[in-house]
Amino acid sequence: MRDGTDRATFVDRFDAGWGAGRERFFEHFLPALVDEDVRLHQPLMPVARGHAGFRELFEGLFAAMPDLRGEVLDWRPLPDGVEIELAIHGTLADVPVEIVTRDRITLRDGCILERRAQLNPLPLVRAALRRPRTGLPLLLRPLRGLGQRYHRPHGSPSAG
């Protein structure tokens, strides 16, 4: 993607997907805007990979905040993609949450190949602690399955 018009079109489609809400979010992004080899990096969570990882990551957010929406505030082209400033907002139980994230997105054929999110997760953590029944499952979600995700079979050499 060398043409700025292609990047602007991608950003418009990205913005529309975040504005679509839970019902249409996945059909908007998958597979049209997300590469099957996607890698999603975000604070406090392991890297999500592929369409299944994309779905798992965002299903958790939508389960905790069904009214979650986002809006592109600004963006700039990069040699291999775009950087997008996105405000996401919703309510966790009855606690409003707003987070601004700066996503560095690498594109391949107009699709997200890699996303590195830079954000301050404290507004979400604070809301989760105020509403632990809804919020703690969201905060603990990254810990579920860590043993399976990072387990080395007995006798495997260490990666050190």
Structural domains in the chain, sorted by start: 4-144 (3.10.450.50)
* Whether the model pTM is above 0.85: no
Q: What is the pLDDT along the chain (160 residues), one digit of tens a residue?
A: 445 679 999 999 999 999 998 889 999 999 999 999 999 998 877 899 999 999 988 998 898 899 999 999 999 999 999 999 999 999 988 999 999 999 999 999 999 999 999 998 888 888 888 877 777 666 666 545 444 443 344 444 544 4
Q: Is 128 exposed, middle or buried (0-12, 13-18, 19+ CB in 10 A)?
A: buried
The reply to whether omega before 66 is within 30° of 0 (cis) is: no
